[in-house]
Amino acid sequence: MSNAPPVAGSVGATPEATPETERPALPDGVVAFVKRDCPTCVTLLPALAQLRAAGVALTIYTQDDPVFPEGLDPTDDTSLRRSWHYDIEAVPTLLRVEKGSEVERAVGWQRGEWEALSGVTDLGLDLPEWRPGCGSLSVDPDREAELAARFGGSVLRARRVELGAAEDPFEAMWNRGWSDGLPLVPPTAERVMQMLGGTTRKPDEVVAVVPPNLAPCSVEKIAINAVMAGCRPEYLPVVIAAVEAACTDAFNMHGLLATTMGAGPVLVVNGPIRRVIGMNAGINALGQGNRANLTIGRALQLVVRNVGGGLPGEVDRATFGNPGKLSFCFAEDEEDSPWTPLSTDLGFDAGIDTVTLFPGEGPRNVVDQISRTPESLARSLAVNLRTVQHPKMAMAFDCMLVIGPEHARVFHQAGWDKAKLLEALHANLMLPGRELIRGADGIEEGLPEALRDATIPKFRPGGILIVHAGGRAGLFSAIIGGWVNGDKGSQPVIQEIHA
């Protein structure tokens, strides 16, 4: 063992159980958990002595001082192994154990409860009738992650990577190929156990098969990569849902990796969880500065890299890529939006926590600070939308249009709902074939000559997704161009977020 923090890898291998991870047996009779640094425990020494004098089979476990209480033959539990395994939340706690199983419990001091549990009457008559207990050291927030890793570590199935005393954990993770190019947080057993506390799902539950290697991915493996990405435990349900969405046939993560185009997963979060975990839907929503936004998107990318094997230069063949392939995740501003949220457009009731994955490139700003009528602004947005991937390409690519609050206000004040805006955008994006065919405007790229006399929509029906987000100052919106749609490409996928 070294002094360097152990790093949990993503390859599944069940570690052997150790004495610390196995739940120790308790002796039959009455079992008390106490600590010296608890006024109530000190006050109750006469009652404990009375139980011993009455012939009760009494075992006393002490959490902080091996000799406390003096004269009552305490058993040392300063390791907190028994306290942790038996979920002792406060001291004193009194248990009745029969045939090795707990049958009754009393927390704190209440004379009637202790008498009923122990069978001894007139217990502690010189003591107050009731006293609350103190917090057990086994639930001390400063030690929670350490104890969970030590005593509950058998739930972890990933192989352990032990580092040498001279190894720098940050360089070690880079050298092992786990990094996306930025420093990672070492996924120690303590941190992984703490991350798993963010979900009710079992660590060994396989939630997806991750392309391109089609590797089974458990909740634990997602948690490991979420730790490395810098997530907080409360972000984990969003990351799990994003992994589930990314690994569907409809999203086609393998194709998105293998394409030479520079697209990657774009995550949009809807529902109350946005506020609960502190996501950003306002100023700089598509940029840096918000931990939840950046680490959730990064965690998904790390899962694809470290579990699925989607490495740049290997399966990932993007000619250019884009910075969003590190992380591209933001929340929709639902509270100030004049329209229904994206999740509702995609079939979910408002108020349901969801994450939508869109196969997108990096965002492009749309500047229109003069239009004050919805007709003008819709035409202005349409002109920009025509350039997605190429002005002469049509129907092959979807897009996400992020409407800023001040642009949204123009439409709202004119009474335009989202459906009317979409109708106007599509109407303004019905393109004459003569402008799109190969050779038009001296550009060899384009559609076949046979479409010269056709009128062609830029986007397929439903191919424009509208999201409301961004800062409240500035008449701007943003376009996120999509990758190839249809059966050979990728579909936007929405996934409900479960705790």
Over residues 434-448, the pLDDT tens digits come to 999 999 999 999 999
Q: What value does the mean pLDDT take over residues 389-403?
A: 97
Residue where the block lists tokens 């393109």 = 431
> Rounded to the nearest 5 degrees, what angle is found at the Cα of 360, between the Cα atoms of 357 and 361?
150
Residue where the block lists tokens 């997963």 = 265
- Neighbouring residues of 433: CB distance < 8 A, sequence distance ≥ 6: 447, 451, 452, 453, 454, 455, 456
Q: Which of 14-28, 191-205, 245-259, 350-364 has the lowest mean pLDDT?
A: 14-28
By three-state DSSP, how is residue 186 classified?
Answer: coil
Chain segment 14-71, per-residue pLDDT in tens: 344 567 788 999 999 999 999 999 999 999 999 999 999 999 999 999 999 999 999 9
Question: Taking all residues of the chain, what is their mean pLDDT, rounded to a whole number?
Answer: 94
CA distance 454 to 451: 5
Whole-number pLDDT of residue 1? 29
* Token couple for 440: 């038009």
Task: Classify each residue of 288-315 as buried b or exposed e, where b means 16 or more C-beta atoms within 10 Å of its C-beta.
Answer: eebebbbbbbbbbbbbbbbbbbbeeeeb
First-to-final CA distance of the chain: 36
CA atoms within 13 A on the CB side of 195: 33
CATH entry 3.40.30.10 includes domain 29-139? yes
Residue where the block lists tokens 């008498």 = 115
Q: What value does the mean pLDDT take over residues 336-365?
A: 97
* Token couple for 216: 């089974």
C-alpha dist (Å) from residue 377 to 164, 234, 398? 61, 39, 20
Is a pLDDT exceeding 50 seen at residue 466? yes
What is the reported pTM? 0.84
pLDDT-derived band at 7, boundaries 50, 70, 90: very low
Q: For the chain, give every domain's residue range.
A: 29-139, 189-496
